[in-house]
Structure 1
Amino acid sequence: MKKQSDIVAELSDRELIMNVYLTQGIMIGLALISGFIVFDHWSEFQGLFKLDIPLIMVVGGSVAFIIVLVDVILERYLPKSWIDDGGINERVFKNISIPNITLLCFVVAVAEELLFRAVIQSAVGLVIASLLFAVIHFRYLQKPVLFINVTLVSFLLGALFYLTGNIWVTIFAHFLIDVSLGILIRLKY
């Protein structure tokens, strides 16, 4: 059986990005279908989307800033072998424009937060949703530092959703984390 890194190595950069969009589309579909099962009324699901701009910007932005800062520090001071994801993030971000990075990161943030926070966390709680989120990033399972990092970020985003009850806060935080780190990768090249 081929390892993920071998499969990814066979894909062109365009195919890799298209696969990212495909998996995110599947997650959005699963979130919407599961939402009909989890929530008694669609208005309950819609109630998770509160357009409280100060809360979204200040709380989501602050959490994202801290997470990005920790990631930058880890990258600077830890051996590359401890934080290397097999080059997948570099492959995704190094050759696409900043507007495309922004779009990709927005789609990822919406898809993952809808599925893992809005639906799964609402159905089974913070711990299971956060662990499932960490496990879907299975390429990190062989890298303890990366796996611990994604697990802690997952619990932090889950706690943010639990405390605010607002999915926009976690979507914004997730988006800022991904877009910031994606742009940092892009700027290296």
Structure 2
Amino acid sequence: MKQAEIIKNLTDKQIREQLYVTQFIFIIISLLLSLFLFDSFSTWKYLFSVQFMQIILFGVVPALGLVGIEIILSKIIAAHHLDDGGINERVFKNQSVFHIFCISMIVAISEEVLFRGVIQTTFGFVFASTLFIIVHFRYLKKPVLLIAIIITSFGIGYLYEVTNNLLVTIVFHFIVDFLLGIYIKFRK
């Protein structure tokens, strides 16, 4: 059974629960991997840095740019090229703004902690970005979505390479997911 067919048979609450379970698994994997791959658990504190200008310049500004580009593309590219099987529509369309906020925050934290914090820190930029693309497998059969996830994945990886700051990538990821989630919710 295709993922889109499974999604059609789930309620909005079940979709939200499955999303939260997946993200919780990412956090557990991150913590377990860090026990084996980091010199000590205290390595985590070196991956986060509260530098507001860095977060704004490398997190907020590029995220707003990407959201703008994605919204423009959604207006000029045929909808079937951007359809991920209706999954993003179901995840965001009928959720409250509060749940879109929560989903976006949890996804941003769990995915960035795993892919940038553990995997990129240990195995490098290309490996982490490639794995991030593979995990978003529903985009692999759609050329436009595939190009978008490749650019996004390597873009986030590059931001982490430049800043060595997970807060930058978490803020970037959150803003993109939250604003696009809001866009999906309210578009006609």
Distance 1:143 1:150 in 2: 10
Distance 2:104 2:42 in 1: 27
Distance 1:100 1:130 in 2: 27
> What residue in structure 1 maps to residue 113 of structure 2?
114
SS in 1 for 2:104: helix
- For 1:158, the aligned partner's letter is G
> What residue in structure 2 maps to residue 24 of structure 1?
23
> What residue in structure 2 maps to residue 78 of structure 1?
77
Aligned-pair distance for 1:138?
Answer: 0.8
- For 2:182, the aligned partner's letter is I
> What residue in structure 2 maps to residue 67 of structure 1?
66
Aligned-pair distance for 1:43?
Answer: 2.2
Distance 1:32 1:10 in 2: 33
- For 2:115, the aligned partner's letter is F
Distance 1:6 1:187 in 2: 24
Distance 1:4 1:96 in 2: 20
The answer to whether 1:87 aligns with 2:69 is no
Aligned-pair distance for 1:181?
Answer: 0.1
Aligned-pair distance for 1:38?
Answer: 1.5
1:8-157 matches, cutoff 5 A: 8-157=7-156
Aligned-pair distance for 1:64?
Answer: 0.2
Distance 2:91 2:69 in 1: 21
* Alignment gaps of 5+ in structure 1: none
Would you identify which runs of 4 or more consecutive aligned residues in structure 1 move more than 6 Å? none
- Size of the alignment, in residue pairs? 188
Query: TM-score, normalization: structure 2?
Result: 0.97
> What residue in structure 1 maps to residue 164 of structure 2?
165
SS in 1 for 2:28: helix
- For 1:6, the aligned partner's letter is E
Distance 2:131 2:8 in 1: 26
Aligned-pair distance for 1:54?
Answer: 2.1
- For 1:44, the aligned partner's letter is T
Tell me whether 172-181 or 55-64 shows the greater mean CA deviation.
55-64
Aligned-pair distance for 1:45?
Answer: 2.0
SS in 2 for 1:47: helix
Aligned-pair distance for 1:156?
Answer: 0.4
- For 1:127, the aligned partner's letter is V
Percentage of identical aligned residues: 41
